[in-house]
Amino acid sequence: MFHSFRERDQANLDAICAHITRHFEPVSLSDILDALDGGKALPDNAITVTVDDGYRNFLLHGHPLFRRHKIPATVYAVAGFCAGRLWLWPDQIEFGFEHTTRRSIRASVGDVELELSLQTPQEKTIAAQRLTEALKRVANDGRLAFLREFGSLCGVEIPPVPPSGREAMSWDELRAVAAEGVEIGCHTETHPILSRLSNQSELDAEIRGAKAQIEEHLGFKVRHFCYPNGRAVDIGEAAIRCVKDAGYASGVSGICGLNTIEADPFQIRRLPFDPSLDRRFCEELLVGLHKRVFGNS
């Protein structure tokens, strides 16, 4: 499970890819689903790469290396992000703290009061993580209301479109990587925490409606879904039912772990990766160590 890619991590990612192809058998997510459904057996040590969010930096710094190493990948697009209607809310929080001149802020999130120090870049990073995690635990309406006031809280104007480095792939770019073998899945319309939505119509818009949008713009069926954040508490049974009813063939979670051939195709576990991770740590992750690592999105 990857998210974002940077040019400075290219050599490290190249080494990770080389290790994957040396010791594992890369396959597509569709190959895995076929095997789960009783079709062609998977090779030993089968592995697939998934990429959440649909950042444009995948096109620039991820896709070329996966293609060179012949590693199939599935990219999960956030429909509203790729359409240019929004940018991802955790990125907005990071942006606000990166650009604020305030030394600290107090934030009320639900019934939690956060005192956030912003005196150093490291403190700003920690503050963004704490605030993001707190917002994941409140009702979706409360999260949206907080974000509308967040710029004022920081004294920073949050731009309507993402700055360079945080932008999404366009529909044309998604079609281009799909033509080169990348599978495109859906990661909702706006990247909410699904269990925090208030009713079925909101679930339908985020799951069924986003699928229809992506299919309309790309011109082919979308079979794969990715639950935002992806812990069991973030998903909920209602979201899983909605994913099945919407016609998806799979749903991947953010729960860390390996899968057997008996895995539930709508609750597939993954291993969280980052192109900057120490290569020895990556090797250990791939054999099932370090099951409690870092957060997801």
Q: What is the pLDDT of residue 295?
A: 46
Q: What is the pLDDT of residue 292?
A: 57
Closest to 86 (Cα-Cα) out of 191, 173, 198: 191
Q: Give pTM, 2 decimals.
A: 0.94
- pLDDT for the residue numbered 288: 83
Alpha-carbon Rg for the chain, nearest whole angstrom, is 19
> What is the model's pLDDT at position 290?
75
Burial 46-60 (b: 16+ CB within 10 A, else e): bbbbbbbbbbbbbbe
Q: Which residues of the chain have pLDDT under 70?
A: 291-297
- The per-residue pLDDT for 282 is 92
CB 130 within 8 A of CB 116: yes
Name every residue whose Cβ is closer than 8 Å to that of residue 111 and which is 6 or more positions away in sequence: none
* Secondary structure class of 74 (helix, strand, coil): strand
Alpha helices in the chain (DSSP H): 10-23, 29-36, 56-57, 63-68, 79-82, 89-99, 121-135, 140-154, 171-179, 200-204, 210-218, 232-235, 237-245, 279-286
pLDDT in tens, 239-261: 999 999 999 999 999 999 999 99
97-125 tens-digit pLDDT? 999 999 999 999 999 999 999 999 999 99
pLDDT of residue 293: 52
Q: How far apart are CA 102 and CA 118, in angstroms?
A: 7
Give the pLDDT confidence score for residue 190 in this predicted structure: 98
**Cβ-Cβ contacts under 8 Å for 22 (sequence gap 6 or more):** none
Token pair 């790469």 is found at 49
